[in-house]
């Protein structure tokens, strides 16, 4: 009884959805015609309409010579062409290109991958003619959402891309841990500079990070922008009206030395609002955790490494605030975009023992214009360019191409058994995601 009612309701929703879809199609059809009819009309359209492009490849029809990345138009476009990716993000690929250079001296073999045990947190996959297959997915008591998020994000970069069947075929292994512990070719969210075998990939937060109450990346970006730029009817929060303090919340346990030193260096300072969080204590979390977007209400945001990289970093870099970090040991794909000094500075760098933190924060509190300049550079470089969803997908595809160039083998979708029978080695991602626990 309940079931039939539910099915009936579902069917009704389907009918409504179909109507809405049809209406949308009519609208886009009408819009596409008006675009074709008059180029001028289109350019005035995009200026006033911040919604993402309905068709992933539509930017390809623009005049190639004058094309420029426009965040309000392109930020959420996962399907930029290879050429537009390069034009938009000239510095995005430095880490991948470095890994590819190293791999050319020691090409990656199938044996290398076979040497990586598929244990807790490790995933092995294949991309074949632009389709994703999951070969093995290790048990993941703690990181299974990371594994799924990463596969989803990788698949999104594939299916958004016209011509994906022409991407090279690859077989790869990635780790969902904070860092890799094998000295074999592996994709990882972070690495130390000297870890030559590790290829950096975008972290799981570009999909979603529900465990710390941070939802989909695009949603958190919208919330952050609503604070800084305003959202009807509330105006944006001006930088000079932000709290003139350095803000930090986190667990000390993941890196007692560094995080403890930050707490020591900020203790009793009027310019600091820092505090250790205990994720196991609900009451503590309720009263002391601040939503990610509310971090942007502070002028200065501290960033401290944990086990390795700090997953909060890229959200903080979406704020029109000053990102304050100690000298980093762990790299993420976008870290080489940091500029510590000069007119293009986009963050403040302090020593790992925070000994110069006090002087630097006091300087910028008494020179708020200089601080605002840094915050503006952060918005331009990170929020509106290198940390956009568009950049994330460009990065994935460049990783696929460059990783392929470093491989000395072609992946096989089937293995042949002793009796000559062929056995598929991987499960298509579309099916895997439905049947995996």
> Which residues partner with 302 through β-bridges?
324
Q: State yes or no: residue 240 binds ligand NAG (CB under 6 A).
A: no
Q: 149, 160 in Cβ contact below 8 A?
A: no
Question: Smallest distance, Å, CB 80 to ligand NAG?
Answer: 25
By beta-carbon proximity to ligand NAG, the closer residue of 188 and 378 is: 378
Question: Smallest distance, Å, CB 380 to ligand NAG?
Answer: 9
Question: Smallest distance, Å, CB 272 to ligand NAG?
Answer: 23
Closest residue by Cα to residue 374 from 319, 428, 417: 319
Count of residues near ligand NAG by CB under 6 A = 4
By beta-carbon proximity to ligand NAG, the closer residue of 293 and 372 is: 372
Question: Smallest distance, Å, CB 376 to ligand NAG?
Answer: 4
Distance CA 2, CA 9 (A): 11
By beta-carbon proximity to ligand NAG, the closer residue of 154 and 316 is: 316
Question: Smallest distance, Å, CB 364 to ligand NAG?
Answer: 12
By beta-carbon proximity to ligand NAG, the closer residue of 240 and 355 is: 240
By beta-carbon proximity to ligand NAG, the closer residue of 372 and 392 is: 372
By beta-carbon proximity to ligand NAG, the closer residue of 16 and 370 is: 370
By beta-carbon proximity to ligand NAG, the closer residue of 95 and 372 is: 372
Distance CA 182, CA 48 (A): 50
Q: 77, 53 in Cβ contact below 8 A?
A: yes
Question: Smallest distance, Å, CB 359 to ligand NAG?
Answer: 21
Question: Smallest distance, Å, CB 244 to ligand NAG?
Answer: 15
Question: Smallest distance, Å, CB 95 to ligand NAG?
Answer: 29
Tokens of 97: 């290109």
Distance CA 101, CA 352 (A): 30
| Ranges within 373-412 binding ligand NAG (CB under 6 A) | 373, 376
By beta-carbon proximity to ligand NAG, the closer residue of 369 and 419 is: 369
> Which residue has its beta carbon closest to ligand NAG?
376
Question: Smallest distance, Å, CB 266 to ligand NAG?
Answer: 26
Question: Smallest distance, Å, CB 384 to ligand NAG?
Answer: 11
Distance CA 33, CA 191 (A): 48
By beta-carbon proximity to ligand NAG, the closer residue of 131 and 228 is: 228
| Ranges within 48-67 binding ligand NAG (CB under 6 A) | none
By beta-carbon proximity to ligand NAG, the closer residue of 226 and 329 is: 226
Question: Smallest distance, Å, CB 75 to ligand NAG?
Answer: 16
By beta-carbon proximity to ligand NAG, the closer residue of 44 and 376 is: 376
Distance CA 92, CA 335 (A): 10
- Intra-chain end-to-end CA distance of the chain, in Å: 29
> Which residues partner with 243 through β-bridges?
298
Number of other residues whose CB lies within 10 A of the CB of residue 253: 14
| Ranges within 361-380 binding ligand NAG (CB under 6 A) | 369, 372-373, 376
Q: Draw the binding track, 417-436, toward ligand NAG (x: CB under 6 A; -: no contact).
A: --------------------
Please name the residues in contact with 312: beta carbons below 8 A apart, sequence gap of 6 or more.
Answer: 250, 292, 303
Q: Can you give the binding site for ligand NAG, defined by CB under 6 A?
A: 369, 372-373, 376
């Amino acid at each position: 009884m309940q079931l039939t009612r539910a099915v009936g309701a579902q069917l009704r929703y389907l009918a409504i959805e179909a109507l809405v879809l049809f209406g949308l199609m009519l609208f886009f059809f009408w819009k596409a015609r008006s675009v074709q009819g008059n180029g001028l009309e289109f350019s005035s359209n995009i200026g006033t309409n911040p919604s993402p492009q309905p068709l992933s490849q539509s930017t390809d029809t623009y005049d190639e010579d004058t094309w420029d990345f426009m965040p309000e138009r392109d930020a959420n476009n996962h399907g930029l062409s290879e050429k537009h990716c390069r034009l938009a993000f000239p510095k995005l690929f430095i880490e991948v290109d470095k890994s590819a250079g190293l791999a050319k001296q020691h090409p990656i073999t199938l044996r290398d991958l076979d040497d990586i045990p598929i244990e807790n947190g490790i995933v092995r996959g294949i991309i074949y003619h632009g389709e994703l297959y999951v070969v093995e997915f290790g048990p993941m008591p703690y990181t299974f959402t990371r594994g799924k998020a990463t596969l989803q994000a990788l698949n999104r970069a594939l299916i958004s891309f016209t011509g994906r069947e022409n991407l090279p075929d690859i077989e790869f292994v990635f780790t969902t841990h904070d860092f890799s512990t094998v000295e074999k070719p592996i994709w990882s969210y972070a690495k130390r500079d000297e870890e030559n075998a590790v290829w950096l990939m975008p972290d799981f937060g570009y999909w979603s990070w529900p465990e710390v109450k941070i939802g989909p990346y695009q949603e958190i970006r919208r919330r952050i922008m609503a604070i800084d730029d305003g959202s009807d009817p509330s105006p944006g929060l001006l930088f000079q009206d932000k709290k003139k303090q350095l803000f930090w919340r986190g667990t000390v346990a993941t890196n007692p030395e560094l995080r403890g030193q930050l707490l020591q260096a900020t203790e009793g300072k009027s310019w600091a609002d820092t505090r250790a969080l205990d994720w196991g204590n609900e009451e503590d979390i309720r009263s002391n955790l601040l939503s990610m977007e509310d971090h942007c209400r502070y002028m200065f945001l501290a960033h401290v490494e944990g086990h390795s990289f700090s997953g909060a970093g890229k959200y903080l870099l979406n704020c029109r605030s000053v990102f304050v970090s100690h000298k980093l040991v762990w790299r993420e794909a976008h870290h080489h975009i940091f500029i510590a000094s000069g007119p293009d500075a986009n963050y403040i760098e302090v020593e790992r023992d925070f000994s110069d933190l006090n002087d630097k924060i006091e300087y910028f509190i008494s020179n708020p214009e200089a601080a605002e300049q840094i915050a503006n550079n952060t918005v331009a470089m990170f929020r509106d360019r290198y940390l956009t969803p568009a950049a994330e997908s460009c990065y994935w595809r460049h990783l696929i191409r460059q990783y392929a160039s470093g491989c000395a083998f072609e992946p096989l979708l089937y293995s042949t058994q002793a009796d000559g029978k062929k056995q598929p080695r991987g499960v298509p991602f579309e099916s895997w995601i439905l049947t995996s626990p």
